[in-house]
Amino acid sequence: MHPAKVQLRGFDVEEISLILKLAEKAEVVHSKDGLDLFFDNVDDARLFISKMKKKFKIKSRMSTESLGFDSRARYLFVYSVKKVK
């Protein structure tokens, strides 16, 4: 089970309130560029993004960040989600 971060950029206040209702299992952090949502499981993040695609016209990209090694490699999956105009 890998954690994930979803970075939301380009959404207005009304859209953000709707997005927060969709993000049930996320910890929300406000950043200067928008919102960052942290999920304990990457599958929850993927499900959240698929729900967003049904509500908004968005573009998403995925990357990874290394969190180090326990007995195996740990990665943080980072999804950058931008609203398409």
pLDDT along the chain (85 residues), means of 10: 93 91 91 93 95 94 90 90 91
Q: What is the pLDDT of residue 69?
A: 84
In angstroms, the CA 77 to CA 38 distance is: 10
Q: What is the pLDDT of residue 7?
A: 96
Q: What is the pLDDT of residue 74?
A: 87
Q: What is the pLDDT of residue 64?
A: 94
Q: What is the pLDDT of residue 25?
A: 87
Question: In one letter, which amino acid is 80?
Answer: S
Q: What is the pLDDT of residue 1?
A: 78
| Percent helix / strand / coil, the chain, rounded to 5 | 30, 50, 25
Q: What is the pLDDT of residue 83?
A: 93
In angstroms, the CA 69 to CA 7 distance is: 24
Q: What is the pLDDT of residue 67?
A: 87
pTM for this predicted structure: 0.89
